[in-house]
């Protein structure tokens, strides 16, 4: 068995995100959602090479084929990114159960829907389950300040 991972650290230099696989990190600022990670999956590689349209990737039969993961076999090489952060930014880390079912516009609308982060997480999870319901959904949100 193998798994994906996304982790974040908030420090003086900003937000540092490390990830392996297709779990994602996003930064939400002033109503705009910025994806901080790139999926390590077969369909992401096909999209990047121009061989698959991004809209088709959401339903591609091989969308769950991960090219980099944690588990048996060779050690995974995590991708690490640091971005500047501002007070009031929201950092969201999530599993593919959320990001594969909700598009960025839907995620942004839900993040903007209330200042109550517990309610936001509940709304994100409920929307992802309602949209698909076949995958585990995990999300963590943090208000940076």
Whether residue 88 is predicted with pLDDT greater than 80 in this model: the reply is yes
Which tens digit of pLDDT belongs to each residue from 16-30?
A: 999 999 999 999 999
Tokens 């779990």 found at: 23
CA–CA separation, 121 and 55 (whole Å): 25
Contact assessment for residue 71 and residue 1, using Cβ atoms and an 8 Å cutoff = yes
Domain annotation for the chain: domains and CATH numbers: 5-38+78-143 (3.60.40.10)
> How would residue 126 be classed by pLDDT, with cut points 50, 70 and 90?
very high
Mean pLDDT of the chain: 92
Q: In the beta sheet, which residues pair with residue 91? A: 27, 142
CA–CA separation, 137 and 26 (whole Å): 15
CA–CA separation, 89 and 144 (whole Å): 5
- 72-76: average pLDDT: 81
Helices 104-112 and 117-131 pack at an angle, to 10 degrees, of 150
Instruction: Compute and round to an integer the Cα radius of gyration of the chain.
Output: 15
Global confidence as pTM: 0.92
- 78-92: average pLDDT: 96
Burial of 94 by CB count in 10 Å (0-12 exposed, 13-18 middle, 19+ buried)? buried
CA–CA separation, 43 and 41 (whole Å): 6
Written as six digits, the tokens of 136 are 């585990």
């Amino acid at each position: 068995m193998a798994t994906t991972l996304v982790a974040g650290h908030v420090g003086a230099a900003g937000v540092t995100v490390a990830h392996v696989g297709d779990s994602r990190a996003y930064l939400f600022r002033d109503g705009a959602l910025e994806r901080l990670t790139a999926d390590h999956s077969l369909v992401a590689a096909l999209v990047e090479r121009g061989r698959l349209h991004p809209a088709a990737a959401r339903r591609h039969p091989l969308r769950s084929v991960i090219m980099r993961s944690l588990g048996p076999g060779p050690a995974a090489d995590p991708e690490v990114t640091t971005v500047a952060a501002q007070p009031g930014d929201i950092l969201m880390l999530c599993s593919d159960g959320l990001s594969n079912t909700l598009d960025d516009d839907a995620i942004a609308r839900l993040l903007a829907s209330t200042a109550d982060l517990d309610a936001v997480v509940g709304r994100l999870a409920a929307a992802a389950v309602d949209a698909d319901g076949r995958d585990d959904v995990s999300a963590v949100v943090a208000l940076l300040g």
